[in-house]
Structure 1
Amino acid sequence: MSLFLLIFSVIVFTCIFFNKFSGKVGIPVLLFFLMLGLLCGSRYDEFASHWGWLVGDISTIALIFIMFYGGFGTRWKSARPVAVEAGLLATAGVALTAVFVGLFCHLALGWAWIESFLMGAVISSTDAATVFSILRSRKLGLKNNTAPLLEVESGSNDPMSYMLTAVMLSLFSGGITAAGIVWQIFSQITFGAVGGLAISAAAVFLLKRINFQSNGFDLLLFIAIALASYSLPDLVGGNGYLSAYIVGIVLGNTDFPERKPLVSFFDAITSLMQIVIFFLLGMLAIPSSLLHSLLPALAVFIFLSLAARPLAVCGVLVPFRKYPFRQLGLISFVGLRGAASIVFAINILTSGVELQNDIFSIVFCIVLLSIALQGSLVPAVAKAAGMTDAGEDVMTTFSDFSENAEMSFGAIRIKETSSWNNRQIKDLALPQDCIIALVVRGNLRIVPKGSTLLETGDEIVICTRSFQDRGTDSLIRHPLSDSSKWAGHRVSEYPNKDGSLLVMIQRGEEKIIPNGNTILKAGDVLVLLRRDTDAG
């Protein structure tokens, strides 16, 4: 157990370390974890009897969080205009892709019918986490609502792929009738959707009435909700992934305290879950089988990218008559394969069905090609197609986007020597995007007007736009010891060697906003704003 925990901690540390570079090098960072799993892995046959159930359960839990965040991170206001098209891509588009790939595997590669369509079902959905990561890390603004369309499609199409995979596995096991298949499809959709809506309503009811007294319990509640959103419908034969997505999108667009930090939390959890899945994929792969599966995988990948996906996209979107060819081409190209296909391939591996072809190894190669090739080329293809839009903020697609700039409040004390003393507010030269929101005079709270006269001792509450931190500046605290040579000197004499700015002095319980004439004292804690050295 200790060795297992140590290995897991190393993976997490590595995840955090490489996350620093994810915005610069893009999605192929995931390939590192895939290769790491490949190096750490062994033959699946050797530990299937002991660890097969664990691998399947871990991959399922990981996909639950990916599906939940697929909904939770989507801003419905941006998604609504393309919800119909995205929904059709996530259902009919996935089914068409599965059929086209199935036909190719049977007619071109000579596979059996059921095995061919099983391959199509497993690889038919696009990867939400990969698409999210590309759009956010590259800040890829796209024209004509392309970003929200891709977001909703990739976030919601895994349940359809899962349902098709489950149906094909049932056919493999035998003994299922046509009526059984119809019931399986009906129960998956109905119980999944109804369960998701019911759990969403219950979760919203709780969130409106629970007041968390301790930080962190809200995170625990949402983890419990995400897990329950899958498990409850699954127990009665419903599609748990569909339910998790529905619950995620409802809660992600419900107003409650601390919603935006939760988006960041689940973004991090989803990244970790995606890394776990890629690590498992690499760990379960057998190098010799990968080499043997490379040619059929390459054939399926080329057909999927150049024929199956474009035909499915055009079949769904062309009837709307509002998507130009270049946009259809970009939407087709961003059909990236990833975590969901890996999980479904692992499910096949742990199901014990006898296959003539190594679908797991083929999926491994397809995902590898999709992540390494397509993922890296998305920005270049978008630019070549003329679909990028510098004026379009891709962050409006996500639920942590705030349409109105957040406001910050600050306070200024009017001194007798202040230039604002004995002046009316209308005569002050206030900066742009700055307003006096309140004047506190003793026990009086005055809502200011232009004619309000400011007096000595007034506390002026200033309202302005919040600063959107881009990670280029940092606050550091520098205490002055009793022996510091700067004690007794003015702030204007304090050195400014690295371009830092002294923004506050903490002197005991007192917080002082300094000016050039402020005298430094031993024991002061100087709060400096320093620009990072690699900010350019």
Structure 2
Amino acid sequence: MVNMLLLCGAVLVACILASRFSQRAGVPALLLFMALGMLFGSDGLLRIPFDDFRAAEQICSVALIFIMFYGGFGTRWEAAKPAAAKAVVLSTLGVAVTALLTALFCHFVLGFQPLASFLTGAVISSTDAASVFSILRSKKLGLRYHTASLLELESGSNDPMSYMLTMIALSLMGVGESGNLIWMVFSQIVFGVVLGLAVAVLSVIVLRRVHLGDGMDSIFVLAAALLAYALPAAVGGNGYLGTYLAGILLGNAKIPHKPSLVHFFDGLTGLGQIIIFFLLGLLSYPTQMPGVLLPAVAIALFLTLVARPLAVFVLLAPFRCKLRQCLLVSWAGLRGAASIVFAIMALAGGAETGYDLFHIVFCISLLSVAVQGSLLPLVARKLDMVDTEDNVGRTFNDYQDQRQLHLTRFRIQQGHPWEGKTVGECNLPADALVVTIRRGEESLIPNGSTVVQAGDLLVVSTPIYQDDGGVSLRELPVEEHKDWIGRTIRELNLPAEVLIILVRRADGTTAVPKGGTVLCQGDTLVVSEGEHMRPA
């Protein structure tokens, strides 16, 4: 147990450090996670034995649920709506066309059996949400013509189609669910949509009407993501489609504590990506890759240069997209974790292909992330598709943090200088704005002529401070300085570079310090200080 925990901790630290390195080196972090897994694996330096496809499939499937959910939750529909029709076409028909073309190539060029060819095309037909999200966010890649939104929506929503094609292929091979294929397709789509949206609607009602307490809302939404997958899957529906749609509805609904939910799922999704890519690297055997390198490279080249561009150009033709946009969308068809997880599902289900499906798909994904992912920013610049005035973060529901705003509130006491004045007369800083005024049970949307009254609670927005490392905060208990008790702040002999910014009283209340504020026993001072600060 202890050794396992040590290993897990070491792996997470190594992956986090690799992520920091990737930002400087321009290499996709997910590629480094995979490389670390290979380093730890049976053929690596540490030679950790791991070849349990069933366990890997279960672990990766759970991680994929949260990645899919957050792909929907983090998508801001208002920004993504202009590209929605194109994304839906690519995530459905585009996946089917790509799978069909790849299957034909595998059968007629590489000599694979027909059903095995169809299975291969199915598992690698979707683009990888984790890879696309990671690269666009880490590179802050704003793109013209709503292309970033198009790629985000497509990659987040096309895994369910690839999953459905994989299940159909397994059914035809006699190792999956048997039965009427028309009913399978119907149940996959209808149950996935209906139950996923039902879970989301009920979750929104609960979050709006029930106060769940600190942190419980995050756990509740996590449970909703699991239910949105499990309920459709239990009755033959597409669980990935259900959880993705639930994520979109919840992410764009007016629910409390949404910024904290974004932070929670951002961390959870990051952990899921580390687990998936590391585990896939751990499961691989690099010594077996030379034997599958030629077919893997051939399929990767066909996907990148023929199947994906052909599907994109044909399906986007009715939308009259520009040539350079179609070229960039074609290049951005990254394969990654989802394809490998679906290949593992097929093998864990007992599919016999006559070749090493896992390592072929693994090599294709490795090449795609390494080559296409690394060159994506360069290709975007060469095609003049980078929009320097656009922020890719606007595609996501990161709200306050993405907008670089901070909200603060303060009560107008009797005798306050602003009492009786209009908002326009309050001499607010140029970057500050009164967002709302709480007056008793009412919430007022203020304008310049709104009069401020005693007892009002003002909510003010200001630009958030970007910490440059020069300022740090620390707590200073008054108990450690007995001679301060009963004295005012102006009487303290503090260094000039130290400023008291908050006084926390023993009863839990806080006070903004002034020169005449008297310190009491049990008080704690919050002070700001910095190595490079000097007195004004």
Superposed pair shares fold, TM > 0.5: yes
Q: CA deviation at 1:160?
A: 0.6
- SS of aligned partner of 2:226: helix
Matched residue SS, 2:473: strand
Give the Cα–Cα distance (whole angstroms) in 2 for the partners of residues 241 and 203 of structure 1. 18
TM-fit CA distance, 1:157: 0.2
CA contact (8 A) 1:425 1:453 kept: yes
Report what 1:506 is aligned to: 503
Change (3 A) 1:461 1:314: same
Q: Deviations over 1:30-71 (max 9, x none)?
A: 233222222333389x866xx443222111111111111111
Alignment check: 8 A CA contact 1:342 1:363 kept: yes
Separation in 2, partners of 1:424, 1:201 = 41
- Aligned: 1:195 with 2:192: no
Contact residue 489 and residue 520 of structure 1 kept, 8 A? no
Q: How far off is 1:493 after superposition?
A: 7.8
Which one is further off, 102-111 or 242-251?
A: 102-111
1:159 Cα deviation from its structure 2 partner: 0.6
1:101 aligns with 102
- Tell me how far 1:470 sits from its aligned partner: 3.7
CA distance in 1, matches of 2:339, 2:500: 52
What is residue 79 of structure 1 aligned with on the other side? Answer: 80
Structure 1 residue 10 displacement after superposition: 2.9
Kept in 2: contact 1:95–1:124 (CA 8 A):
yes
Mark the CA change 1:65 to 1:206 in structure 2 (over 3 Å): closer, same or farther.
Answer: same
1:366 to 361, 364, 367: 364
d(CA) in 2 for partners of 1:297, 1:532: 55
1:99–1:117 contact (8 Å) kept in structure 2: yes
1:27 touches 1:130 (CA, 8 Å); kept in 2?
A: no
| Conservation of the 8 A alpha-carbon contact between 1:503 and 1:529 | no
Q: What's the offset of the Cα at 1:422?
A: 11
TM-fit CA distance, 1:313: 0.8
* 1:302 Cα deviation from its structure 2 partner: 1.3
Contact 1:433 1:464 survives alignment (8 Å): no
Query: Residues 21-420 of structure 1 correspond to what in structure 2 (within 5 A)?
Result: 21=21, 23-25=23-25, 28-42=28-42, 51-173=52-174, 180-213=180-213, 215-321=214-320, 323-401=321-399, 407-410=407-410
Residues 292-301 or 196-205, more deviating: 196-205
The answer to whether the Cα contact below 8 Å between 2:208 and 2:256 also exists between their aligned partners in 1 is no
Letter in 1 for 2:464: Q
Query: Which deviations, in whole Å up to 9, do the C-alpha atoms of 1:283-310 show, x marking residues without a partner?
Result: 2212221111112211111111111111
Partner amino acid, structure 2, of 1:32: L
Cα offset, 1:22, TM superposition: 5.2
Would you say the 8 A contact 1:27–1:133 is kept in 2? no
Structure 1 contact 334–374 (Cα < 8 Å) conserved: yes
- Tell me, yes or no, if the aligned pair for 1:414 and 1:460 is still in contact at 8 Å: no
Give, in angstroms, the shift of residue 205 of structure 1.
2.8
Match for residue 443 of structure 1? none
| TM norm structure 1 | 0.83
For the residue of structure 1 that corresponds to 2:289, the secondary structure is helix
Contact 2:18 2:33 in 1 (8 A): no
Tell me, yes or no, if the aligned pair for 2:175 and 2:350 is still in contact at 8 Å. Answer: no
Distance in 1, Cα, partners of 2:340 & 2:460? 48
Secondary structure of the 1:255 match is: coil
Distance verdict in 2 for CA 1:25–1:217, change over 3 Å: farther
- Structure 2 vs 1, CA of residues 238 and 422 (structure 1 numbering), >3 Å: closer, same or farther? closer
AA at the equivalent of 1:277 = I
| Aligned counterparts of 1:131 and 1:262: Cα–Cα separation in 2 | 21
Root-mean-square deviation (CA, aligned residues, Å) is 3.8
- Aligned partners of 1:451, 1:254: CA distance in 2, in Å? 30
Cα pair 1:191 1:238 within 8 Å, conserved: yes
Mapped partners of 2:532, 2:229: distance in 1: 43
Report the secondary structure of 1:528's partner residue: strand
- CA change 1:490–1:320 in 2 (3 A) is same
**Residue 368 of structure 1, CA deviation:** 1.2
Q: What is the CA–CA distance in structure 2 between the aligned matches of 1:10 and 1:251, rounded to whole Å?
A: 35
Can you list the C-alpha shifts for 1:417-445, whole angstroms capped at 9, x where unaligned? x8x899998766443244678799xxxxx
Q: CA deviation at 1:126?
A: 0.7
8 Å Cα contact 1:395-1:401 kept in structure 2? no
* 8 Å CA contact retained: 1:309, 1:332: yes
Once the two structures are TM-superposed, the CA of residue 357 in structure 1 deviates from its matched residue by 1.7
Partner SS for 2:277: helix
Q: Which amino acid aligns with 2:293?
A: L
CA deviation after TM superposition for structure 1 residue 102, in Å: 1.3
Q: Distance in 2 between matches of 1:428 and 1:476?
A: 30
* 1:468 aligns to 2:464 (yes or no): yes
Most deviating of 17-26 and 258-267:
17-26
- Structure 2 vs 1, CA of residues 71 and 524 (structure 1 numbering), >3 Å: closer, same or farther? closer
The alpha-carbon distance between structure 1 residues 136 and 492, as it changes in their structure 2 partners (threshold 3 A), is farther
Query: In the aligned structure 2, how far is the partner of 1:224 from the partner of 1:309?
Result: 36
- Relative distance call for 1:59 and 1:413 in structure 2 (3 A) is same
Moved more, 349-358 or 302-311: 349-358
**Partner residue in 1 for 2:443:** none
The number of equivalent residue pairs is: 511
**Residue 96 of structure 1: how far off its partner (Å):** 0.8
2:422 and 2:14 mapped to 1: Cα distance? 58
Measured at CA, do residues 180 and 18 of structure 1 come closer, stay the same or move farther in structure 2, by a change above 3 Å? same
Q: Distance in 2 between matches of 1:273 and 1:233?
A: 22
- The alpha-carbon deviation at position 490 of structure 1 amounts to 7.3
Which residue of 1 is the match for residue 442 of structure 2?
none
The percent identity for this pair of structures is 44
Q: Deviations over 1:72-92 (max 9, x none)?
A: 111111222221111110000
Aligned-pair distance for 1:188? 1.4
- Between stretches 32-41 and 89-98, larger displacement belongs to 32-41
SS at match of 1:145: helix
8 A contact 1:504–1:511 mirrored in 2: no
- CA shift, 1:483, in A, is 9.9
Letter in 1 for 2:98: T
Judged with a 3 Å threshold, the aligned counterparts in structure 2 of structure 1 residues 290 and 505 are, in CA distance, closer, same or farther, namely same
SS of 1:173's partner is coil
* Structure 1: unaligned runs, 5 residues or longer: 441-446
AA aligned to 2:281 is G
Q: Aligned partners of 1:193 and 1:225: how far apart in 2?
A: 15
- Distance of 1:389 and 1:448 partners within structure 2: 34
Segments of structure 2 that go 5 or more residues without pairing to the other structure are 440-445
Structure 2 Cα separation of the partners of residues 492 and 225 of structure 1:
55
Preserved contact between residue 491 and residue 520 of structure 1 (Cα < 8 Å): no
Whole-angstrom CA distance in 1 between matches of 2:275 and 2:84: 31
1:491–1:514 Cα contact (<8 Å) kept? no
Opposite residue 461 of structure 2, the aligned amino acid is: R
Structure 2 equivalent of residue 444 of structure 1: none
